[in-house]
Chain A
Amino acid sequence: MRVWITHHLHSLKIALGRLRASSAASLMSVLVIGVALSLPASLYVLLANAQRAAGNVSVQPEITAFLKLDVDDMAAEQMAQALAKRPDAGAVTFVHRDKGMDKLRKAGLGDVMAGLSSNPLPHAITLAPTGADPERIDRLAAELRQHENVEQVSLDANWSRRLAAILAFGRELVWLLAVSLGIALAAIIGNTIRLQIYAQREEIEVSRLIGATDRFIRRPFLYFGLLQGLVGGLAAWGMVSLLIALLDGSVARVALAYGTRFSLAGLAAQETLILLGLACVLGFTGAYLSVTRTLRHFN
């Protein structure tokens, strides 16, 4: 056990020394790794922010039936209860006209409402059908339109479906970018390691002659790859944070123009850890493949 720890500490020391010795070349590859990692990471962060911006709007299709103004509280509530019994209606919420007014006020439209003498809003009933079958939702909406109490039915399924599709496309793009750039990264790190191995060729040959195992020879290179990945990951984190800091001001101005507040969120602690972890894994994998392949050529 002690020998094992000694070996690892020793390898780490060698790897750190090599990183320092080739600082210019290492800096370049760390930058490349950082830029390559920051692309999908930035896209991910922006996507997460877009989702948060659209967060109050549920992606699930929703039907809202606005009742006629002369329908009283009792009748409206009874109607809501009757609808709730239907299996295809999903979650049914009755929104009293006063509550609707409150909601608008909270949404920042209080100034507009202040000039009105009475509440112009009707009662509303929202349905959140559980099935994703658009035909059934359309049928339900048509049925509601026929109802004597109903003035208007709004079906927000279409635009929410579009939003969901765009976000899903964005997520797929993040994955595609992450996978392709990840492969490129492993290759870049592998190549740096290969050059390192050729630079250390003499040491490897002598070490083998005096009893070094392949593992002993391989270990410093694996640490080197891991460290390079880690530093590259940190660089990517810095670039994403910089991007967020740069964009936050203009996004806030846009939001202000719409009368709301919105601030871009950076990578959360957990997401940062995942980014760094992935960078390490990529560095290690690139180094491992390269070392195993290159060492086979020696001897």
Chain B
Amino acid sequence: MIEFSEVTKRYPGGHEALANVSLTIAQGELVFLTGHSGAGKSTLLKLMAAIERPTSGQIIVNGQSLGRMKRAALPYFRRNIGLIFQDHKLLYDRSVFDNVLLPLHIQGLTGPDAAKRARAALDKVGLLGRERARPITLSGGEQQRLCIARAIVSRPALMLADEPTANLDDAYAREIMDTFLAFHQVGVTLVISTHDQNLIRRYGGRTLTLANGHLTEGAAESPAGRDAALLTP
């Protein structure tokens, strides 16, 4: 599903966010991405979603090489990815329902079909009763669930979540994680970045650890890959 080979990302100004990262994530995997703040978790997710481009190295997601992808092809690539942001990135000028409709409108789907799918997505995250509400009136946990509903409404095979539980208390965080787990069980590939070690312990799953832009643990899921990862300091 996702393959990084010797990927380096240097931002303008010289800051090296990721150095020589190689990793493979198979279809249907649940992967936690962890590490201290500034270790490169967000950058790694942004590279997977082609929000940023690598300075060097190759990235293949969904069988598509992102380095060579044309600008015009990007939107179509993104439609197959469900993105969940720490700050939700909701649109506050429209209802909960319209927020979930947006990805469908972007794909040219309107009318009763779209409404049905939007309702199904809201139902899955437990927000069906709030569809006419404004996002600003929702709690932090509800806003995060709305963000998830928007990400899943186009039924992506891959979901990338950047610190989805960072601003939530434990009960809310658990709710969100349970939602994620349900998607994992139906075959969705999930990459979740978090610095909450308790969460990782509770839910298990494979863990990729980043430190100062280097991948220090969990580079490949195959045993051979795991050994190789252990050998690199």
Contact = CB atoms under 8 A, between A and B. Distances in A.
Interface stretch (B75-83, B126-134, B207-215): B75-83
Given A203-B91, A206-B89, A211 B109 contact: no
Contacts of B75: 208, 211-214, 216
Interface stretch (B98-106, B167-175, B181-189, B223-231): B98-106
Contacts of B106: 207, 210-213, 216
Interface in A9-52: 9-10
A210 B49 CA distance: 10
Contacts of B79: 210-211
A3 B109 CA distance: 7
A289 B111 CA distance: 32
Nearest to A207: B106
A111 interface: no
B51 A210 contact: no
- What is the size category of the interface that chain A forms with chain B? 10 to 19
B222 interface: no
Contacts of A213: 72, 75-76, 106
A246 interface: no
A6 interface: yes
Nearest to A7: B108
Contacts, number: 56
Nearest to A4: B108
A209 interface: yes
A211 B76 contact: yes
A194 to B, nearest CB: 19
B145 interface: no
Interface string A126-155: 000000000000000000000000000000
Nearest to B77: A211
Contact of A210 (B72, B83, B109, B111): B83
B108 A3 contact: yes
A206 B84 CA distance: 11
Contacts of A9: 110
A205 B109 CA distance: 20
Nearest to B88: A206
A9 B108 CA distance: 10
Interface string A178-210: 000000000000000000000000110111111
B150 interface: yes
A62 B75 CA distance: 71
B146 to A, nearest CB: 12
B62 interface: no
A210 B91 contact: no
B209 to A, nearest CB: 26
Given A206-B89, A206-B91, A211 B103 contact: yes
Contacts of A208: 75
A9 to B, nearest CB: 8
B82 to A, nearest CB: 9
8 contacts: A4-B108, A206-B90, A208-B75, A209-B83, A211-B79, A212-B75, A213-B106, A216-B75
Given A3-B108, A210-B103, A212-B106, 17 more contacts: A6-B110, A10-B105, A206-B89, A206-B102, A207-B102, A209-B49, A209-B51, A209-B78, A210-B79, A210-B83, A210-B151, A211-B75, A211-B76, A211-B103, A211-B107, A213-B76, A216-B106
